[in-house]
């Protein structure tokens, strides 16, 4: 029932041992390269290479489908929208009232759909193999982001896992007061909105209490030390290199085949 | 800090007040983080819903922008609750990161979207020098966040669209931002303030402030 | 930096000079004109009736009270001669709500958090982490998720986190309120052990004196400022002297002195047990679970209760260790959770045409038949003031709110009628949530830990109210760790076993006699 976002056990996959910053860097580099190139060749090559990385992140194809099906839908829809709205070049394929597809617009649509998938996948790979606590440690210690904000966000994340369970409890508690459970769509929506508001109130109240706890533990008063050290190791180099290689290979392939189409070109 | 009875007549200096406005206390950070994370979970559901919604927008994809306002709530709400420079940006960024952590089809681009949309909302509050937090300001912040989202999406996702469609998309995004993010957040903050949950935050009086 | 080894390890001295605090939006002061000196290393039990300002004082000492611009402070409160706001981290505070103690998602990290903030070097942190987990008796791996802990384990985790900071002052706010009797002893002993090691100053708030009597060497009783009394300290001295000299005065102030059970209106020896027993709710083979089962994967029950019969005018108390499933059972009986097995039937006397399954009733039908008080009071507040909260159910049922003022006075909430429910003290919240349910006058009352956080006077008032209702024909099911309360209400007792002791979650029903014997 509860979507306890960060209480899941630490992943044991190879990528999980890499420093989160290395993974983030590799993923972002790849994302930027894919963002500027809109063609089906680079997208396909990147997608295939990314799929080969899945085992390193401890993700099976089944888990990917379970977790990622909305992504598939979104990519297809995005491709469709582009095919519909792109400038109509090439030969006419289909005309039905205002809906027209040409070979040019269809190609653009396919490219956008594939690119969408190729952009989404690094995010899933990195995040499935990254523990939020490690990420926070890396952001604060290596990237030197202000620690109060980083740790505040980390603590908040834990709280939200609890709030998901609280939704159920609140529903029962309010029913016990006679709120909700009335027939009719309008009343149902009203009750749901009331409950959402109650959850928001609980979220803020718990946040204030959590802040008291953190302050009482001396948080935010001055310099602090770190119990967990965030460090870079040899295989972080491999991770970064891997991201760059995928980006380079996919763009080179597109350039070689003559289909590369940079956005700002 | 609470004022002490003994020093009640000593008026707090202006400098002091200004300092309080821009320094973040732990409670500010934690509350805005929790709001951000909570909204991030909602974003994630909202993203999953996007697949469904897009089934209805197939005939005319720019209408999808109307749905986009949902992704802008974090910035406006964070700004309205904490009332400090950077609150809107931080809240939207946190929400986007959490959406990313849960896994979405936007991949790492959620971080970019969060940054851009947060800056949009932040600009709305900055225009009033973080002094006013009434309904028009909320609507403006929402609309500016919508503008930022529209431009960003046009450059990232809808790159291949023809120019006029991009324009339509941006305008619809602004409308959606003003209504879904601006109005809804403003109402939510008023409701929150009424329950007393905001009693140790700068927005504690939101329920009795005038709308315009 | 550099001073970490000494910072916090020496016991702290507390001094209050005419200190007072008025929360924003309140006309009365929570604490008024407090003069107090606590020497380093002293172990103090802080007592006082519910709403006397104990939690307020502890928060002030921890330096976490002062963020409200409309609140008023008077006098001064010093730790080691410095204002409290500057000595944050010097004191370890354990709040009333165990869920609010935990900051990070793995227990090792959570214990380390405070020490990190005190800038303790890394090796020393991990040494302290293992040592404090050891001393509170929490034997779990360091990467155990902190969300998968029972209430008692969470209290211990909170304590371990504080100990790792090596605070000079330990502030505990009702640290054992929701624990089962075994857990109470364990947590108390953990505190004592750590105090023996560190020599820190202790201020503990608890309503029951007997628990801490052997640990503390001084008792301070706060007088409520709200009741127009002078405020400040009512009694102060070594436990033996205070208890011997002023026993009467203490009991009058509502202090739970050892061996004292306040007078409660006794139940009438009426004839409800005879032929005319009116069955309201009946369950057999009832399995309870928080997770909703699906058709192919039915929820695994955490407890199975062979048979429960609830009749008009009868009491049933449910007891058992933490995590046994008592609250889950209460929610299931209340028609709020779907049974994970077996059956729950409402008889026609209770259903009055609404159908036999309470789960299917509408909100409005439910509250006039079965009233439920949740373990966590805040979940049930739906309005903005105490009075509106009480008027809510009568309005929903289309009745007048005549009984409301009576309830307010009896439960000592009358001076708070316009206050926001969320700003009440722990005990006041509890009484309000009981009162809101009573205002709907349901036929069956289900109360989850109705007496926690109550002083002896409010406890007696609550118990008397319930015996009246019982005599008037209401059925009362109460989940409680409070044996005295169960004994006063009488009736049968249902004991749920610990999940690990009884794998099938077997439950046993004791008869009324065996309850009386305890
Ligand atoms: N945040 C708040 N805002 C306004 N009033 C408050 C707030 N917190 C507490 N009070 C009021 O201050 C008084 C003292 O509350 P406090 O919580 O200190 O009592 P307490 O002695 O701990 O009581 P209990 O034993 O019931 O926990 C109460 O009347 C309470 O209603
Ligand atoms: N909201 C929840 N969602 C899922 N599981 C829960 C939830 N609340 C409690 N549990 C689990 O269900 C089991 C029974 O919990 P329950 O609250 O019924 O115990 P209890 O007997 O009331 O304990 P206590 O004396 O501590 O109140 C415990 O193992 C607990 O961890
Ligand atoms: Mg209290
Ligand atoms: Mg319980």
pLDDT in tens, chain B (212 residues): 444 443 333 344 444 444 445 588 899 999 999 999 888 888 877 776 766 666 666 667 777 778 888 889 999 999 999 999 999 999 999 998 888 777 676 778 888 889 999 999 999 999 998 988 999 999 999 999 999 999 998 887 777 778 888 899 899 999 999 999 999 999 999 988 888 888 888 888 888 888 87
Mutate to test the pocket of ligand 2, among C187, C318, C325, C333 (most ligand atoms within 8 A of CB): C325
pLDDT, mean over chain A:
83
Least-confidence region, from A139-148, B49-58, C37-46, C413-422: B49-58
**A102: which strand partners?**
A92
Per the model's pLDDT, the better-predicted residue between B103 and C157 turns out to be: C157
Compute the distance between CA of residue B59 and CA of residue C75 in angstroms, rounded to an integer: 71
CB B33 within 8 Å of CB B94: yes
| Number of the ligand 1 atom closest to the C-alpha atom of C54 | 21
Residue-wise pLDDT for A233-251, tens only, equals: 898 999 999 999 999 999 9
Distance CA C285, CA C370 (A): 21
Arithmetic mean of pLDDT, C471-497:
89
Domains plus CATH for chain C? 280-516 (3.40.50.300)
Q: Which two tokens stand for residue C222?
A: 């706060």
Domain definitions of chain A by residue range: 3-256
Output the pLDDT for position C219.
Answer: 92
Interatomic CA distance for residues A6 and C317, integer angstroms? 38
Helix, strand, or coil (residue C149): coil
- Cα distance between residue A68 and residue A107, in whole Å: 24
pLDDT digits (tens, 9 = 90+) for A135-153: 999 999 999 999 999 999 9
- Which of B55, B105, B195 has the CB atom closest to A71's CB atom? B105
Distance from CA of C255 to the nearest CA of A (A): 28
Interface test with C, best of B26, B199, B202 (most C CBs within 10 A): B199
Q: How many CB atoms lie within 10 A of CB C344?
A: 22
Q: Could you give the CA distance from residue A129 to residue A190 in angstroms, rounded to a whole number?
A: 40
Cβ of C103 within 8 Å of Cβ of A213? The answer is yes
Residue length of chain A:
265
The residue whose CA has the least distance to atom 22 of ligand 1 is C55
C-alpha distances in angstroms, C193 versus C29, C33, C38, C132, C190? 36, 34, 21, 10, 5
Cβ neighbours of residue C408 under 8 Å, at least 6 residues apart? C386, C387, C390, C414, C417, C435
Task: Out of A11-20, C207-216, C258-267, give the one with best mean pLDDT.
Answer: C207-216
Residue B29 to residue B25: CA distance in whole angstroms: 6
Ligand nearest to the CA of C27: 1
Q: Does the beta carbon of C302 sit less than 6 angstroms from any atom of ligand 2?
A: yes
* Residue A227 near residue A13 (C-beta atoms within 8 A): no
Instruction: Give the pLDDT score at A54.
Output: 86
Q: What is the pLDDT of residue C68?
A: 64
Q: Is C290 on the interface with A (CB under 8 A)?
A: yes
Q: Is any Cβ of chain C less than 8 angstroms from the Cβ of A203?
A: no
Ligand nearest to the CA of C20: 1
Confidence of residue C50 (pLDDT cuts 50, 70, 90): confident
Q: How confident is the model at residue C69 (pLDDT cuts 50, 70, 90)?
A: low
Dist. CA A14–CA C338, nearest whole Å:
43
Contact yes or no for C33/C230 (Cβ under 8 A): yes
Arithmetic mean of pLDDT, C420-431: 89
Listed range (A15-19, A83-87, A225-229, C237-241) with the worst mean pLDDT = A83-87
Place of tokens 């006029």: B164
Determine what percent of chain A falls in helix, strand and coil, rounding each to the nearest 5.
Answer: 70, 5, 25
What value does the mean pLDDT take over residues C92-105?
Answer: 84
Structure confidence by residue, pLDDT tens digits, B158-172 = 777 788 888 998 999
Judging by DSSP bridges, how do beta strands C82-83 and C492-496 pair with one another?
unpaired
Q: Give strand ranges (E) for C289-366.
A: 303-311, 315-319, 341-346
- pLDDT, chain B, mean: 82
pLDDT digits 0-9 by tens, C200-214: 999 999 888 888 999
Assess whether pLDDT exceeds 90 at residue C37: yes
Note the pLDDT of residue B54.
65
**Looking at the partner chain, which of B24, B103, B157 has a beta carbon nearest the beta carbon of A68?**
B103
Residue with tokens 């406006």: B76
Percent of chain C at pLDDT exceeding 70: 89
C454 lines ligand 1 (CB under 6 A): no
Residue C453, ligand 1, Cβ within 6 A? yes
Residue whose CA lies nearest to ligand 2 atom number 25: C322
Least confident range of C90-99, C116-125, C233-242? C90-99
**Which stretches of C160-302 are assigned E, i.e. beta strand?**
169-173, 201-205, 218-222, 233-237, 279-288
SS3 assignment, position C1: coil
Query: Residues 186..245 of A with a Cβ closer than 8 Å to B: which?
Result: 197, 200-201, 203-208, 210-212, 214-215, 219-220
pLDDT at B89: 95
Distance A209 CA to ligand 4 centre (A): 21
Angle of helix A20-36 versus helix A103-128 axis, rounded to 10:
180
Q: Tell me what pLDDT residue A15 has.
A: 85
Atom number of ligand 1 nearest to Cα C174 = 27
Q: What is the pLDDT of residue C8?
A: 47
pLDDT at C371: 93
Joined together, the tokens standing for residue C364 give: 């409005």
Q: Which residues of C388-420 are buried (b: 16+ CB within 10 A; e: fewer)?
A: ebbbbbbebeeeeeebbeebbebbbbebbbebb
Q: Would you state the structure tokens that stand for residue C65, as one six-digit string?
A: 């009270």
Centroid of chain to Cα A212: 31
Asked if the model's pLDDT at residue C271 lies above 80, the reply is no
Query: C299 in ligand 2 pocket by Cβ < 6 Å?
Result: no
Residue written as token pair 């469709």: A80
- Give the whole-angstrom CA distance, residue A182 versus residue C363: 7
**Domain layout of chain B by residue ranges:** 26-208
Which chains form contacts with chain B, at 3 or more CB pairs under 8 Å?
A, C
Identify whether the C-beta of residue A70 lies closer than 8 Å to the C-beta of residue A59: no
Distance CA A129, CA A122 (A): 11
Instruction: Place C3 in a pLDDT band, splitting at 50, 70 and 90.
Output: very low
Question: Which residues make Cβ contacts (< 8 Å) with residue C259, sequence separation at least 6?
Answer: C210
Sign of the Cα torsion C508, C512, C513, C518 reads: positive
Q: Is C327 in the pocket of ligand 2 (CB under 6 A)?
A: yes
Residue C499 confidence (pLDDT): 54
Task: Give the percent of chain C with pLDDT over 90.
Answer: 28
Lowest mean pLDDT among A203-217, B37-51, C171-185, C341-355: B37-51
Residue C510 has pLDDT above 50, yes or no: no
CB-based contact C366 A155, cutoff 8 Å: no
- Complex ipTM above 0.95? no
Q: Which H or E element spans position C135?
A: helix C122-135
Considering every ligand atom, which ligand is closest to the CA of C454? 1
- Note the helical H segments in C21-106: 54-62
C507 three-state secondary structure: strand
CB contact under 8 Å between B156 and A67, yes or no, is: no
């Amino acid at each position: 029932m509860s979507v306890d976002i960060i209480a899941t056990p630490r992943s044991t996959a190879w990528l999980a041992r890499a420093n989160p910053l290395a993974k983030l860097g590799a993923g972002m580099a790849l994302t930027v390269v894919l963002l500027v190139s809109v063609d089906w060749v680079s997208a396909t090559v990147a997608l295939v290479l990314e799929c080969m990385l899945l085992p390193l992140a401890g993700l099976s194809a089944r888990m990917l489908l379970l977790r990622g099906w909305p992504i598939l839908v979104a990519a297809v829809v995005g491709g469709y929208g582009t095919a519909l709205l792109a400038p109509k070049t090439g030969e006419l394929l289909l005309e039905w009232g205002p809906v027209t597809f040409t070979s040019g617009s269809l190609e653009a649509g396919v490219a956008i759909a594939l690119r969408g998938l190729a952009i989404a996948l690094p995010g899933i790979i990195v995040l499935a193999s990254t523990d939020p606590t490690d990420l926070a440690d890396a952001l604060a210690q290596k990237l030197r982001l202000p620690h109060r904000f980083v740790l505040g966000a980390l603590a908040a994340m834990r709280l939200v896992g609890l709030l998901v369970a609280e939704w159920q409890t609140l529903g029962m508690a309010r029913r016990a007061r006679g709120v909700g459970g009335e027939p009719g769509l309008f009343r149902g929506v009203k009750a749901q909105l009331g409950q959402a508001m109650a959850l928001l109130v609980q979220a803020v109240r718990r946040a204030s209490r959590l802040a008291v706890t953190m302050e009482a533990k001396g948080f935010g008063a001055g310099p602090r030390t770190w119990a967990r050290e965030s460090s870079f190791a040899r295989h972080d180099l491999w991770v970064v290199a891997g991201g760059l290689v995928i980006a380079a290979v996919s763009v080179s392939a597109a350039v070689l085949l003559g289909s590369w189409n940079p956005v700002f070109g | 800090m609470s004022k002490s009875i003994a020093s009640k007549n000593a008026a707090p200096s202006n400098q002091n007040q200004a300092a309080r406005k821009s320094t973040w206390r732990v409670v500010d950070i934690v509350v805005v983080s929790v709001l951000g994370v909570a909204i991030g979970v909602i974003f994630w559901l909202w993203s999953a819903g996007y697949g469904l919604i897009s089934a209805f927008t197939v005939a005319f994809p720019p209408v999808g922008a109307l749905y986009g306002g949902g992704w802008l709530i974090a910035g406006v709400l964070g700004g309205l609750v904490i009332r400090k420079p950077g609150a809107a940006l931080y809240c939207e960024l946190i929400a986007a990161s959490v959406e990313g952590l849960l896994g979405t089809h936007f991949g790492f681009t959620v971080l970019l979207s969060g940054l851009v949309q947060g800056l949009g909302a932040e600009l709305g509050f900055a225009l009033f020098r973080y002094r006013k937090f009434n309904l028009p300001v909320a609507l403006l912040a929402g609309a500016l966040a919508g503008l930022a989202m529209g431009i960003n999406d046009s450059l990232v996702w809808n790159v291949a669209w023809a120019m006029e469609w991009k324009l339509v998309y941006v305008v619809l995004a602004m409308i959606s931002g003003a209504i879904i993010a601006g109005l809804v957040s403003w109402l939510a903050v008023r409701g929150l303030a009424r329950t007393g949950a905001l009693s140790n935050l700068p927005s504690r009086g939101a329920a009795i402030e005038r709308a315009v | 930096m550099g001073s970490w080894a000494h910072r916090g390890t020496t016991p702290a001295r507390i001094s209050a000079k005419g200190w007072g605090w008025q929360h924003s939006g309140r006309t009365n002061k929570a604490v008024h004109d407090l003069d107090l000196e606590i020497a380093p290393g002293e172990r103090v039990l802080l007592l006082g009736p519910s709403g006397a300002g104990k939690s307020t004082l502890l928060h002030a000492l921890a330096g976490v009270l002062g963020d409200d611009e409309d609140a008023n402070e008077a006098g001064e409160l010093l730790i080691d001669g410095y204002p409290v706001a500057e000595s944050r981290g010097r004191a370890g505070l354990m709040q009333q709500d165990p869920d609010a103690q935990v900051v990070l998602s793995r227990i090792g990290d959570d214990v380390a958090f405070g020490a990190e903030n005190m800038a303790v070097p890394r090796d020393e942190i991990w040494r302290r982490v293992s040592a404090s987990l050891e001393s509170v008796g929490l034997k779990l791996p360091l990467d155990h998720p902190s969300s998968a802990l029972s209430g008692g384990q969470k209290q211990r985790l909170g304590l371990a986190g504080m100990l790792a900071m090596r605070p000079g002052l330990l502030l505990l706010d009702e640290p054992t309120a929701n624990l089962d009797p075994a857990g109470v002893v364990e947590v108390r002993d953990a505190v004592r052990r750590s105090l023996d090691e560190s020599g820190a100053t202790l201020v503990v708030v608890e309503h029951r004196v007997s628990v801490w009597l052997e640990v503390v060497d001084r008792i301070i009783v706060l007088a409520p400022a709200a009741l127009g009394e002078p405020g400040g300290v009512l009694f102060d001295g070594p436990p033996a002297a205070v208890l011997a000299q002023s026993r009467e005065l203490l009991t009058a102030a509502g202090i739970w002195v050892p061996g004292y059970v306040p007078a409660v209106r006794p139940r009438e020896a009426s004839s409800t047990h005879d032929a005319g027993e009116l069955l309201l709710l009946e369950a057999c083979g009832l399995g309870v679970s928080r997770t909703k089962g699906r058709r192919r994967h039915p929820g695994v029950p955490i407890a199975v209760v062979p048979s429960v019969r609830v009749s008009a005018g009868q009491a049933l108390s449910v007891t058992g260790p933490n995590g046994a499933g008592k609250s889950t059972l209460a929610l299931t009986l209340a028609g709020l959770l779907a049974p994970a097995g077996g059956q729950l039937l409402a008889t026609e006397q209770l259903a009055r045409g609404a159908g036999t399954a309470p789960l299917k009733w509408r909100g409005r039908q439910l509250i006039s038949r079965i009233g439920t008080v949740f373990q966590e009071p805040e979940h049930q507040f739906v309005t903005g003031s105490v009075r509106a909260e009480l008027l809510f159910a009568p309005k929903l049922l289309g009745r007048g709110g005549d009984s409301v003022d009576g309830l307010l006075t009896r439960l000592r909430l009358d001076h708070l009628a316009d206050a926001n429910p969320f700003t009440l003290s722990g005990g006041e919240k509890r009484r309000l949530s009981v009162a809101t349910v009573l205002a709907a006058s349901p036929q069956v009352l289900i109360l989850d830990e109705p007496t926690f956080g109550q002083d002896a006077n409010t406890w007696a008032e609550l118990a008397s109210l319930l015996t009246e209702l019982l005599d008037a024909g209401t059925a009362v099911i109460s989940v409680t760790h409070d044996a005295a309360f169960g004994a006063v209400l009488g009736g049968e007792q249902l004991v749920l076993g610990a999940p690990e002791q009884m794998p099938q979650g077997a439950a046993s029903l004791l008869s009324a006699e065996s309850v009386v014997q305890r």
